Amino acid sequence: MTTNLPDQLEFQLIDADYFRQDNSPVIRLFGRSSEGKSICCQVPGFEPYFYVNCNADLEQVASDIKQQFEQVKAIEQVERFEPVGYQTTFTRMLKIITHDPGNVPEIRDDIAAMPAVKEIYEADILFRNRFLIDRDLHGMGWMRLTPQGGLQDLPLCNITCSSEDVEEFERKEPAPLRHLAFDIECLPVDGNMPTPETSPVIMISISCAPAYQGKETIVLIAKPADGVDTDVEACQDEASMLSRFFEIFREYDPDVVTGYNSNDFDIPYVTDRVSILNKNGHRIISDVGRDGRSLGYRRIGTRTMVDITGRAVVDVLPLIRQEFSLKRYTLRNVSHELLGKEKLDVSPQDMEEYWEDNGAKLYEFINYARRDSELALELLLHLKLLDKHIAVSQVSGTLLQDVISGGQTNMVEQLLLSEYGKQNRVMSSKPDEHTSQQRRKLNENLKGGAVLEPHKGLHENVLVLDYKSLYPTIIMAHNLCYTTVVENTNLQADDLIVSPTGDKFVKPHLYKGIVPSVLEDLLRRRSETKQIMKKTRDENQHRVLDATQLALKILLNSFYGYSGYARARLYSLGMAGSVTSIGRENISRTEEIVCSQIGSVVLRNDEVYFRDEAGEIGPDDKEVNLSIVYGDTDSVFVHCMDRDNTEISPDDLTLEESARVGSKVASLVTASLPDPMELEFEATARRVLLVAKNAMHNGCLNLRVMAGKIRSRSRVWKLSGVTGVS
| Band of pLDDT at residue 715, cut at 50, 70 and 90 | very low
Predicted local distance difference test score (pLDDT) of residue 3: 67
CA distance 635 to 469: 11
Q: Model confidence over 108-152: pLDDT tens digits? A: 999 999 999 999 999 999 999 999 999 999 999 999 999 998 788
The arithmetic mean of pLDDT across residues 81-102, rounded, is: 97
β-strand 159-162 against 38-44: which pairing, if any? parallel
Model confidence at 633: pLDDT above 80: yes
8 A C-beta contact, residue 461 and residue 660: no
State the average pLDDT over residues 682-701: 67
Q: Which of 204, 351, 150, 184 is nearest to 266 (CA)?
A: 184
**172: confidence class by pLDDT, cuts 50, 70, 90:** confident
Class of domain 451-471+574-725: alpha beta
Task: Name the residue among 373, 380, 368 with its Cα closest to residue 338.
Answer: 380
Indicate the SS3 state at residue 510: coil
pLDDT the model gives residue 710: 39
- pLDDT tier, 2 (very low <50, low <70, confident <90, very high otherwise): low
H-run or E-run covering 184: strand 179-186
Q: What is the mean pLDDT of the chain?
A: 92
The residue extents of the domains of the chain are: 1-174, 179-317+347-377, 451-471+574-725
Task: Report the range out of 21-25, 209-213, 345-349 with the highest average pLDDT.
Answer: 209-213
Please give the angle made by the CA atoms of 620, 624 and 627, to the nearest 5 degrees: 175
What backbone torsions phi and psi does residue 217 show, to the nearest 5 degrees?
A: -140, 140
HSE-up of residue 194 (Cα within 13 Å, Cβ side): 22
Q: Around Cβ 229, how many Cβ atoms within 10 Å?
A: 11
**Model confidence band, residue 83 (pLDDT cutoffs 50, 70, 90):** very high
pLDDT at position 724 = 35
> Number of H helices and number of E strands within the chain?
20, 32
Q: What is the pLDDT, as a whole number, of residue 1?
A: 56
Backbone angles phi, psi at 664, to 5 degrees: -65, -45
Q: Which residue has the higher pLDDT, 449 or 18?
A: 18
What integer is the mean pLDDT of 207-230?
96
Of the pLDDT bands very low, low, confident and very high (cuts 50, 70, 90), residue 450 is confident
**Looking at residue 571, what DSSP letter applies?**
-
Tell me how crowded residue 381 is: count the other CB atoms within 10 A of its CB.
16
- Domain 179-317+347-377 annotated CATH 2.140.10.10: no
Residue 439 has pLDDT above 50, yes or no: yes
Q: 3-class SS at 707?
A: strand
| Closest CA relative to residue 95, chosen from 117, 116, 79 | 79
Residue 188: cis peptide before it, omega within 30 degrees of 0: no
| Chain segment 23-33, per-residue pLDDT in tens | 899 999 999 99
pLDDT at position 41: 96
Q: Report the DSSP beta bridge partners of residue 44.
A: 26
Containing 364, the helix (H) or strand (E) segment is helix 360-382
**454 has a pLDDT exceeding 60:** yes
Helix then strand then coil, % of the chain, to nearest 5: 35, 25, 35
Q: What is the mean pLDDT of residues 258-284?
A: 97
Report the share of the chain in percent with pLDDT over 70.
Answer: 95
Q: What is the residue-wise DSSP string for 191-231?
A: TPPP-TTT--EEEEEEEEEEEETTEEEEEEESS--SS--TT
Q: Domain 1-174 adopts which CATH fold?
A: DNA Polymerase; Chain A, domain 1 (3.30.342)
pLDDT of the residue at 711? 38
Q: Work out the number of other CB atoms within 10 angstroms of the CB of residue 300.
A: 7
Looking at residue 490, its pLDDT comes to: 83
